[in-house]
């Protein structure tokens, strides 16, 4: 079997591309895999991953957008039997079509703890504004001639998380780990997911309806997939059902949020603050109102970018392929 692997540059200081490539070495030791081709898509301008798969039986490291696997693509790639995305998220897939062509597709749950940690970091920055207060001590305090000068000067009122209610939307791996971290801060955790999660590990989480989560939460953190049903899940109507002064965190997908409605809610202070690692348009080519909102933190879809998670993504993709070849596939997303 021939495997094509799409592996781009790491974008992480201290993680050279050579280390990423070497992490794929165990793939070459799988008995059924006779040939491995590693491709950096950025070195092939004008061509997409779909153009570069060729006659491979296995394609790994895909960025699966909506309807990536359509009839024309599958007919022109008859050898392809296994495909994996290196990410948690993926676009819409025609399960019946891909199954009919004998294609198994998997995702990679590599960054649950990493992305959860980042969600909490956004929340803590909103609650404490540590970076602003550090800048004051380092660069402003000694030259501060204002009447407000104080070594203990507060530019924003700090917020305490203890005893407040964290609402988790989407109780998959990332949502679960965010819930655990919130519990560690002494927060009460409630969650909404279309599927009720059972078992002792979920005992500390109260699972509620979406509307109840909106009305009870002091903090709402989004960890659900972006689907047609979830498009603009946070909109004018859902915001109206929230507590006044709620905090919104989104490390999932930008399409979950109506950005204009969020901007208006922030400026009216219906929503106290928002921490976003994702936007509708990535990479943005124009300014949007949220970029000028003083109550909104925006970072560039980097919650997943730790060295540990980047390497774990490769390890898990190889393990998922091994499981598929052994007849017990894991993380299948086109069932």
The per-residue pLDDT string of the chain (335 residues; one tens digit each, 9 = 90 and over) reads: 999 999 988 889 999 999 999 999 999 999 999 999 999 988 898 899 999 999 999 999 999 988 899 999 999 999 999 999 998 888 889 999 999 999 999 999 998 999 999 999 999 999 999 999 999 999 999 999 999 999 999 999 999 999 999 999 999 999 999 999 999 999 999 999 999 999 999 999 999 999 999 999 999 999 998 888 999 999 999 999 999 999 999 999 999 999 999 999 999 999 999 999 999 999 899 999 999 999 999 999 999 989 999 999 999 999 999 999 999 999 999 98
What was the pLDDT predicted at 66? 84
Residue 224: burial class (beta carbons within 10 Å; 0-12, 13-18, 19+): buried
Catalytic residue numbers read 253, 282, 301
Q: Which helix (H) or strand (E) holds 248?
A: strand 246-250
What was the pLDDT predicted at 50? 92
- Please state whether beta strands 205-207 and 2-6 pair in parallel, antiparallel, or not at all (unpaired): unpaired
What was the pLDDT predicted at 276? 98
Distance CA 80, CA 34 (A): 15
CA distances from residue 58 to 34, 103, 160, 185 in whole angstroms, order as listed: 11, 10, 49, 44
What was the pLDDT predicted at 121? 98
Q: Which helix (H) or strand (E) holds 274?
A: strand 271-276
Q: Which domains are seen in the chain, by residue range? A: 2-111+307-325 (3.40.50.720), 112-298 (3.40.50.720)
Q: Are 310 and 12 in contact (CB under 8 A)?
A: yes
Q: Are 103 and 167 in contact (CB under 8 A)?
A: no
Distance CA 209, CA 202 (A): 16
Rounded to two decimals, the pTM is 0.89
What was the pLDDT predicted at 10? 85
């Amino acid at each position: 079997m021939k495997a094509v692997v799409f592996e781009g540059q790491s974008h992480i200081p201290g993680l050279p591309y050579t280390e990423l490539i070497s992490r794929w070495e165990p793939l070459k030791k799988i008995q059924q895999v006779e040939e491995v081709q590693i491709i950096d898509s950025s070195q092939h301008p004008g061509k997409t991953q779909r153009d570069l798969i060729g006659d491979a039986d296995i394609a790994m490291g895909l960025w699966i957008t909506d309807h990536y696997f359509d009839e024309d693509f599958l007919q022109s790639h008859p050898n392809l039997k296994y495909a994996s995305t290196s990410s948690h998220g993926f676009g819409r897939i025609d399960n019946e079509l891909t199954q009919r062509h004998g294609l198994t597709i998997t995702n990679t749950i590599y960054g649950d703890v990493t992305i959860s940690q980042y969600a909490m970091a956004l929340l803590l920055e909103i609650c404490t504004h540590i970076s602003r207060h550090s800048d004051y001590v380092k660069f402003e305090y000694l030259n501060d001639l204002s009447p407000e000068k104080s070594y203990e000067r507060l530019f924003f009122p700090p917020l305490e998380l203890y005893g407040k209610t964290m609402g988790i939307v989407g109780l998959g791996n990332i949502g679960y780990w965010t819930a655990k971290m919130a519990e560690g801060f002494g927060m009460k955790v409630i969650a909404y997911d279309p599927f009720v999660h059972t078992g002792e590990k979920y005992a500390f989480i109260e699972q509620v309806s979406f509307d109840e989560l909106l009305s009870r939460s002091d903090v709402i953190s989004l960890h659900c997939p972006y689907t047609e049903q979830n498009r603009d899940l946070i909109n004018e109507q859902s915001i109206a059902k929230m507590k006044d002064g709620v905090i919104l965190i989104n490390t999932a997908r930008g399409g979950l949020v109506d950005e204009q409605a969020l901007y208006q809610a922030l400026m009216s202070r219906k929503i106290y603050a928002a921490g976003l690692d994702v936007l509708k348009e990535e990479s943005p080519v124009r300014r949007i109102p949220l970029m000028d909102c003083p109550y909104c933190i925006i970072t560039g879809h980097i919650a997943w970018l730790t060295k540990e998670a980047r390497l774990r993504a490769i390890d898990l993709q190889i393990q998922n392929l091994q499981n598929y070849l052994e007849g017990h596939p894991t993380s299948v997303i086109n069932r």
